[in-house]
Amino acid sequence: MTKEVLIRQIIDVLARAGFALSDRCNIRPRSFDVAARKGETLLLCKVLFNIDGLNEETAREMKYLAEYLGGSAIVVGAKTRDQMLEDSVVYMRYDILALNVQTLHDYFIENVPPLVSAAPGGLYVSIEGDLLKKARMDQSMSLGTLAGMVGVSRRTISKYEEEGMDASIDVVLHLEDIFGVELARPINILKSCGSRKPRKKMEARAEGQEKSFMLLPEDLILNTISMLGYDVLPTAQAPFKAISRDKSTVILTGVSEFNTTVIKRAHLMSSISCVTETQSVFIINGRSKIKSVENTVLIEKKELDRISDSEELLDFIEERKDNHEGA
């Protein structure tokens, strides 16, 4: 199987599951390959034939983007090291959940969540501790008695019950056989993300650059957006330069001089913004020959400089979009 075949399989599974999909991110480097949405569920999906190809920098950016967009970051692949990924098993790489296409299919099409996670030393299952404790108490069984039956310590049984400590597959099957109840906790591959506020970090970085007279034009533009009242998350591997967010609006934000690459990126940003339900803006450092590309509004730096706050910027974006649609 090639990566191209793998990507087509993933897109097919997500489409069959009812997801709306963005265009594929075909600009390198890329922190994710496709964005997908179904209702309130948003996925940023990275495709790697070998999941060990995920590096820490890419994983960090995937997590930040997912947090800002209110979605989940996942990796879908085919192998790890010298073996294929197993069905119904999830793997972790830099705190990003990874799985194969079959597991993706089972979760989103068959509504069958995985139960097993891979970790150093083997495969493990999380136990529903409350259910285990109730089952044991219902049979008036002591910790020591159960520990002897399973072949583990009393402390281990206590950790299963109180802390939900993972157990080997054999132990979980043994426990389920003893009590006749299902104890494995399903794995939710959709990790809801909280919010971060990297604007202060960006401003601190900008201040340091100003002191050394090395502030780049794109950093100046992002700092201008930040001063309008947005939290700004700079990116290194996405098709946009940053995500800008205030209390009500999220904007995929590109920054560049006008060229043919801008148009290509603006098309891709438009597709992603439709799926992520965000605005899409490209700030042009200099003159722009066009006002918009699909849903992406192009704004010249001098136009941005005349805007005083986030509400005015949003009004400017909406007015330019309306004019484009009416043209």
pLDDT digits (tens, 9 = 90+) for 78-104: 999 889 999 999 999 999 999 999 999
Q: Residue 62: name the closest of 73, 71, 70, 52 by CA.
A: 73
Query: What gap in Å lies between CA 295 and CA 278, rounded to an integer?
Result: 10
The tokens of 165 are what?
Answer: 């400590």
pLDDT digits (tens, 9 = 90+) for 229-257: 999 999 999 999 999 999 889 999 999 99
Phi-psi region of 288 (alpha: psi -120 to 50; beta: other; left: phi over 0): beta
State the pLDDT confidence band at 28, using cuts at 50, 70 and 90: confident
Q: Which residues contact 306 (CB under 8 A, 6 or more apart)?
A: none
Query: What gap in Å lies between CA 21 and CA 38, rounded to an integer?
Result: 9
Query: pTM value?
Result: 0.85
